[in-house]
Amino acid sequence: MSEPKQQCPQCGERAGVPILYGMATPETFDDPDIAIGGCIVDHDSPNRRCLSCGHAWRATFEPGPPISHEQSVPRSHRRRPLPKSSLRRKKG
Ligand SMILES: [Zn+2]
């Protein structure tokens, strides 16, 4: 599964793929949607590369929706299977 390509700021094509640094697997090398950046990562290193023009840039993460502290985010409820003995059953 590959994420949707990002728009290249240089040529405007939606051909920006994530540049993968470090641990590259043979699968990654074969994946045309992932560019290999090498092992050395700067904090300024580009993390997107355009497959169309070869331009590399650093994509900033899109900020999510603002989280207000007053409104607590509900945690995902753990589904706990109820023991059958706890089921209500009426006899008679
Ligand atoms: Zn481009």
**Centre of ligand 1 from the C-alpha of residue 30, in Å:** 21
Confidence class for position 49, pLDDT limits 50, 70, 90 = very high
Residue 77 CA, ligand 1 centroid: distance in Å:
43
Question: For residue 6, what is the DSSP state?
Answer: B
pTM (global) more than 0.85 = no
Is residue 12 over pLDDT 90?
Answer: yes
Which phi and psi angles does 58 have, rounded to 5°? Answer: -100, 120
Count CB-CB contacts under 10 A for residue 48: 20
pLDDT band at 17 (very low <50, low <70, confident <90, very high): very high
Write down the mean pLDDT value for the chain.
Answer: 75
- Ligand 1 center to residue 91 CA distance, Å? 72
Q: Tell me, in angstroms, the distance from the centre of ligand 1 to residue 72's CA.
A: 41
In whole angstroms, what is the distance from residue 18 CA to residue 48 CA?
5
Rounded distance between C-alpha atoms, residue 62 and residue 14, angstroms? 16
Q: Which residue stretches of 1-92 are H helix?
A: 26-30
Show the 3-state SS of 60-78.
Answer: CCCCCCCCCCCCCCCCCCC
d(C-alpha 53, C-alpha 73), whole Å? 42
